[in-house]
Amino acid sequence: MAQSTTVNVNRLVTPAEYARMKYVTPKTVYNWIKSGQVASRTIGNRQFVELS
């Protein structure tokens, strides 16, 4: 059986939404995700930023 993980979706936003919150470009957010500066989750084929 596959193990499932519960994620609080109220704390997830798209990289574009996160970029608007931080006054940066979405490209900057993707760079932060890649470098590990921002926590993210992939659900299906979409990526989301975790709000803390």
- pLDDT at residue number 40: 95
pLDDT for residue 1 is more than 60: no
Per-residue pLDDT reduced to its tens digit, 2-50? 666 665 557 999 999 999 999 999 999 999 999 999 999 999 999 999 9
Rg (CA), the chain: 12
Structural domain spans, the chain:
11-50
Strand order in the sheet with 40-43: 12-13, 46-50, 40-43
- pLDDT at residue number 8: 59
Q: What are phi and psi of 44, to 5 degrees?
A: 65, -125
Higher pLDDT among residues 34 and 52, named by residue? 34
